[in-house]
Structures are given as C-alpha cells and as structure tokens.
Amino acid sequence: MTTDSNNPLVLLEKSNNGVAQLIINRPEVHNAFDDDVIEQLIANLEATNEDPEVRVLVLRSRGKNFSAGADLAWMKRMAQNSHEENMVDAGRLARLMEVLNDHSKPTIALVQGAAYGGAVGLAACCDIVIAAESSGFCLSEVKIGLIPAVISPYVVRAIGERQSRRYFVTAELFNARTAQEFGLVHEVVESVDQLDEACDRFIATLRKNSPQAMKAAKDLIYAVSQKEITKEVIDDTARRIADIRVSDEGQEGLGSFLQKRKPNWIQE
C-alpha cells in the first residue's frame, strides 16, 4: 500500500486492487473532528471520487473509538465567533456530509467503540456500515445545547422519523444491534478484530460488479427515494436503463453473460 498524506490527521491509503481507505487518525482525542480534519476529509473524498483507479472507499479510524464527533476545543472556538463565521463553518461540515453521501463509488464505514454526534452522520452517509458489537451510537448534541442539524437529512433517512424523534431529543446511547434494527448498521461483528474480515467480504462482492453500473445504481436511489411515483419518475427510470444498456460496460456485461465468461472489470 502507498500512503498519501501531508498531515497525519487524515490518511489516505490506496491498494492496487482499487480499494482506498480514508482513515481519521486522531486516536488521542477519540478521533474527534475539527475544521482541519473536515477539510482534509473533503479533499480526499473529492479526490477519490474523481480517481478512476478507486473502485471502493472504506472510511475508518484508528484507536479504540470511531469518532467522538466534534472536537470540544473547536466547538468552544466557534462559539466565540460571529453568526456569519458560524454559518461558513457549519457549511463546511455540511459539505463533508454531502460529498460522502454523494460519493460515486461504493462506501463502507467500519465502526468501533464510540460513534457520537457527527460520527453518526458519517455512518449514515455511507452505503454499507459494519460495526463491532461493542460499539455505541449517540446523537449527543442536545446534551450541550446544540442540535444534530447538518447530519439530520442523512440520519433521518437512515433510522426513520420515528426513531429520530426519540433519539434527537433524549441523546440516549444505543448499541450496534439497535442501530442494525434501525437500519443505520448493516452488519454487526462480534469483535473489532472481525471488522476487516467482514469488510473484505463486501469488497470482494463489490469488485465483481460493474463500476459504472454501481455508480448508476447509487444515482438511481437518489432519483427515486422519497419521490411520488409519477410519470416523470417512471420515464426517468426507463431512460436510465436504456442509457446503461447501450453503454460500454452495459454491453460488456450483457455480452459476457451470454458468452458465459467473466466481464472485463473482474481482474484476477
């Protein structure tokens, strides 16, 4: 693996099999994020989104905890700033959630230990979330007089309005099994040591699929989610399947299936 990092707060590790690992590297403060971490995450997400060699993105962190959410020193500093400055700052956190949620490659979050506040938002923005059974989640903002504002569109979609109405106002801790019941987590493993094994299984599955089709499938979800089934929506879905059938990868996929061979995106 090669490591591309100008600052150890966030690491980007890319392997030769098309997997990029984006790693929050602040274990001494439970991987809490501040404005510097946010900017580095945005930059790396934008870079991997445009990198044709990246086929899967894994978001993870080092140490015992996935992330404690916002850094207390950063929040204290922002509390002393003007409303306009806070708008700019909050906008960058909102941008982080947007670029992660809209990433064109399949994204996998690996969660260990605590995932608090904005960290729940990071998980909700990923396509697949794998959590250790010992991990815990908390929308903790109201405990310190705040609200989970910029993460709310993604968290509400992940766990539903009903659960959000409870956990946004109670700031209760919920475990990995409960997070799985809510739909935030897709798979729970018994120990932290099993996170990589579970991740590798998903990566092996994803690498068998057409990169172009996976991107189109993600776009399709955004296009139909929460939408009324109108003629416009129906026509749009018909256009999308027609477009991909005549695309290079669509033609290769159909051809390889009919010819009983592996498509060219599967590399041994």
pLDDT digits (tens, 9 = 90+) for 46-72: 999 999 999 999 999 999 999 998 888
- The 10s digit of each residue's pLDDT in 66-78 is 999 888 888 777 7
How many helical (H) and strand (E) elements, i.e. helices and strands, does the chain have?
10, 10
Average pLDDT of 182-202? 97
Average pLDDT of 179-205? 97
| CA gap 84, 76 in Å, rounded | 16
Residue 110: in which H helix or E strand, if any? Answer: strand 107-111
- The 10s digit of each residue's pLDDT in 234-248 is 888 888 888 888 888
Q: Note whether 31 and 24 are within 8 A (CB).
A: yes
> Domain extents for the chain?
10-207, 211-259
Q: Provide φ and ψ at 37, rounded to 5°.
A: -60, -45
Q: What is the pLDDT of residue 268?
A: 62
For domain 10-207, is the CATH number 3.90.226.10? yes
Average pLDDT of 168-187? 97
Average pLDDT of 130-142? 97
Mean pLDDT of the chain: 91
pLDDT at 26 over 60: yes
Q: What is the pLDDT of residue 3?
A: 43
Q: What is the pLDDT of residue 259?
A: 84
pLDDT at 6 over 70: no
Within 10 angstroms of residue 165's Cβ, the number of other Cβ atoms is: 11
Query: How would residue 1 be classed by pLDDT, with cut points 50, 70 and 90?
Result: very low
Strands (E), 117-242: 128-132, 136-138, 173-175, 187-189
